[in-house]
Amino acid sequence: MPNMYEPVGYETYEEVDFLPSNQEAMVPPANTINRGWLPYEFENTPEGKELARLNTSPLDSMSRDENLAKGGQLYTIYCAICHGDKGKGQGTLVKREKILGVPSYDDPARNITVGTAYHTQIYGLNSMGSYASQMNSTEMWQVAEYVMKLKQDLTK
């Protein structure tokens, strides 16, 4: 039984005669989701964002401090470069004029909620791309909660 000790490797997109469509890399089965992800019910439209405005965080409120700590770490990695450490829209890229027009979280015209913050991370908005491929659902909710904390700190 040499196959037990010498595994047969397959190249991506290589023809393999015993798999469906004779191909190793296949589309995931219908109606499946990746591990660590939750289905998101709102579309990438202005109407979808307005519906998401009323969405609340599914994270455990008893673990709020841990969620904010993790959200703060992720915010520093993914968001602070543009939005700034305090959410004033003055991150390093904005100060160096690499991107323009990043408003502060306390801007009343933005009317940010935890639901719209999550929606924006899922789909992106204007020049901000989606972060759905970098973070899982829990991490994005943690960042959304941290954004709301920054907004609250700015409006004091």
Residue 44, pLDDT score = 93
Judged against a pLDDT cut of 80, whether residue 20 lies above it is answered with no
Residue 130, pLDDT score = 93
| Confidence band of 48 (pLDDT split at 50, 70, 90) | very high
Judged against a pLDDT cut of 90, whether residue 16 lies above it is answered with no
**Distance between CA atoms of residues 72 and 69, nearest Å:** 5
Q: Does 1.10.760.10 match the CATH number of domain 46-155?
A: yes
* Nearest C-alpha neighbor of 142 from the set 57, 26, 42: 57
Tokens of 42: 């709102």
Residue 21, pLDDT score = 74
Q: Mean pLDDT in the chain?
A: 87
Task: Yes or no: say if 105 and 112 are a contact pair by the CB < 8 Å rule.
Answer: yes
| Residue range 83-113, pLDDT digits in tens | 999 999 999 999 999 988 888 898 888 889 9
Task: Yes or no: say if 86 and 150 are a contact pair by the CB < 8 Å rule.
Answer: yes
| Confidence band of 126 (pLDDT split at 50, 70, 90) | confident
Residues of the chain with pLDDT > 90, as a percent, come to: 54
Task: Yes or no: say if 137 and 41 are a contact pair by the CB < 8 Å rule.
Answer: no
More confident residue, 134 or 39: 134
Instruction: Provide the H-helix boundaries in the chain.
Output: 46-52, 64-78, 80-83, 92-95, 114-123, 137-154
Judged against a pLDDT cut of 70, whether residue 10 lies above it is answered with no
* Nearest C-alpha neighbor of 154 from the set 117, 105, 83, 82: 105
Tokens of 70: 């993790």
Q: Is 13 exposed, middle or buried (0-12, 13-18, 19+ CB in 10 A)?
A: exposed
pTM of the model: 0.77
More confident residue, 145 or 32: 145
